[in-house]
Structure 1
């Protein structure tokens, strides 16, 4: 009984002393005890403190007096906590250590270097370095070389593509082909269609339609075609045509005057003018063979509609499934489940064109 009375008296004095303390000191002590309790409840033989837990215990310890600090029930000694606090202060006022050597290359710059190397097989690391400087990237030539080496990209002479496909594609921008094909109307009248097609862009140009393709008429259509090209005619170096009698010397002279070399195809070798022959086949399969042409006016309408569809909407495998007149336009937005699709009919619904609704 006497011991119980003694313990109650001691606890009563502790409560009286606790009432005299400030609320901030009591809250700090509660937080400290809760933090230690969370560490002690871990399923480990011995609690281990992480860097953040040491900081949480060391920072608020300065609030307590030396006497109160020695009375706190801590999992470690007060001297250890003070040592943690000293390290925390030293870390705050000491500049972070920097690893020796150059700083790492940004990932965006590395991807740009690899993109330039893949899109330009003939560029070496010096050429890529100069292009980066022109784009505002301050980087050393040795850094470019190291990026290419780590990515496993060979030097420019080894990775340059010298295949026939690449060679012919590079020559296509300077080649234009022409040809003449006939359409029989429902009244058994034959009309001839003269067209030109650019090998580089696959853009087709309908020059004229006539029943009698004479030499003077075709020569005049050639003059009109060059006038429509304007300054673009200077980039053309070759014109491919067949050996038809309607392609006279005056026709060739029109192109020779502008520096264009006329290349006749060999007899019975239509593959020498394959792109023009392919356009004729596409026009027949997709339009004229599926319609009964009644006359010249109807034929002009059908050919004009198909040529516009071919140039502005029809995808081409050689152009990465893009239309000839849309090579410079931005790619369409990525379609989602809510994207609305609009259909436009040409030639009375014979041809359908699909676009996204804005």
Structure 2
């Protein structure tokens, strides 16, 4: 597609700031909270990560689409971002085993994308002014109407989104003859989490976001897992009740990202919306138990209160984010429960933290 043939497009932020670009192909408008990811690879996994539901993704990597799309490189059944903003979009791809171009992948998922945006300037603006709602659109001559529509988009603060991405019915993953059985609460689970559990000889039953503890218990699992996911954790009262019951019974429990926040809330520790969040595959974390550093994959816009966590008599901080000292991991002193505020399954990202899945299995063995 020639540059001159492409329709003008823009991204309009909630404060009225506008950045101009070009349409990838699909016309119209898409609304959501704008955020950015600093990963240099794994764009397809990022776009299909359920944790990004309701968000307009700005990629800081200059080239998106250059290696196409592959049917196996997805973290869910569809694109989950509300829309894409990038600098250079590659309509052609060079990888021999790609199944399609990224443009085709976006068309198949009916998702809006725009490019030729000054993403360095946009990301700098978000870092300075915080994540906020935005709209990407090809309706460049209809700014006033776009502003009216954008004003009606609800804030991510207080927004429950797990129900939008969770499975509707329970399903199984892995080998039914595996050594361990795990009940997983799907509040936005990634496929690579299931792969990591399955390759550690676990058979997983995945339950909808609003399942009760009795539902998860009916599988007679050896351990329980609370997944990652989108939105504000506070409205997920049912998930918090599930976590409370598992903790009360001192059953093996592991939580990732949104699941980590749910465990904190179940222990009376509050959460808060971050200024612009952590999203990328190079975030430095220190393991306070071993003194070792980890390069991690992260994707979250909420965090748990460090002050309240430090005051909690039964909670130990196990990991800290080295950029801003936010809590990156906790464990309970008297219960078989731990969680992290990042993605040890990566996809994309480094594998420094994959040992956490081994720790979960070890906790199951000790139970």
Identify whether the pair has TM-score above 0.5, normalized to the shorter chain.
no
Q: TM-score, normalised by structure 1?
A: 0.26
Higher helix share: 1
Q: TM-score, normalised by structure 2?
A: 0.25
The structure having more radius of gyration, on CA atoms, is 1
Higher strand share: 2
